[in-house]
């Protein structure tokens, strides 16, 4: 069973999730950061995939992205850093990033590599929900990689229910 599913079945409230950018502040800090967060009792971690044009992010995350990229971080290197992380990390791990790097890696290859390394889910904010349903849902389900969609306070209840029905992580 996916660790995200297990977390929400066993902890009904007060789930603490922390986000950080892979390769920031130093290139090889990713695993060290995961270990430190787990040791502090964090329930789940979102690792940001650095991207050169993070337009939807604020200045702090934009700066972290640029520093990580300047350090040499890439999606391929991130997966290399994560290849044995399940030896020590038990909490759910989600990769969060823009669609462009995921598509450059290949969507199915991305999902397969997530499954092989032990990544539990993904957040791809610029992947339209309709496109996810028609083109990518089957792939995420095949590899049991949870797709987490974002909503806003203005999202109508009907759309929230639709997203909730067709995704399998959390909103």
Which position among 46, 84, 144, 158 bears the catalytic label?
A: 46
Active-site residue, 84 included: no
Taking alpha carbons only, the member of 162, 140, 170 closest to residue 7 is 170
> 113 CB contacts (<8 Å, ≥6 apart)?
79, 105, 119
Which position among 39, 43, 57, 131 bears the catalytic label?
A: 57
Active-site residue, 29 included: no
> 76: left (phi > 0), else alpha (psi -120 to 50), else beta?
alpha
Q: What is the DSSP string of 130-162?
A: HHIIIIIHHHHHHTT-EEE----TTS-HHHHHH
Q: DSSP label at 88?
A: T
- Catalytic residues, by residue number, are 46, 57
């Amino acid at each position: 069973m996916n660790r995200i599913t297990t977390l929400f079945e066993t902890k009904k409230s007060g789930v603490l999730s922390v986000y950080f950018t892979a390769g920031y502040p130093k290139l090889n800090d990713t695993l060290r950061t995961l270990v430190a967060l787990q040791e502090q009792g964090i329930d789940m971690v979102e690792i940001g995939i650095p991207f050169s044009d993070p337009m939807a992010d604020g200045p702090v995350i934009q700066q972290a992205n640029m520093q990580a990229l300047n350090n040499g971080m890439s999606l391929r290197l991130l997966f290399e850093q994560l290849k044995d992380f399940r030896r020590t990390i038990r909490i759910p791990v989600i990769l969060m990033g823009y669609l462009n790097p995921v598509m450059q890696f290949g969507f199915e290859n991305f999902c397969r590599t997530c499954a092989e390394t032990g990544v539990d889910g993904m957040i791809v904010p610029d992947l339209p929900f309709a496109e996810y349903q028609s083109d990518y849902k089957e792939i995420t389900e095949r590899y049991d990689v949870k797709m987490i969609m974002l909503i806003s306070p203005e999202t109508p209840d009907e759309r929230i229910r639709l997203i909730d029905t067709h995704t399998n992580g959390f909103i």
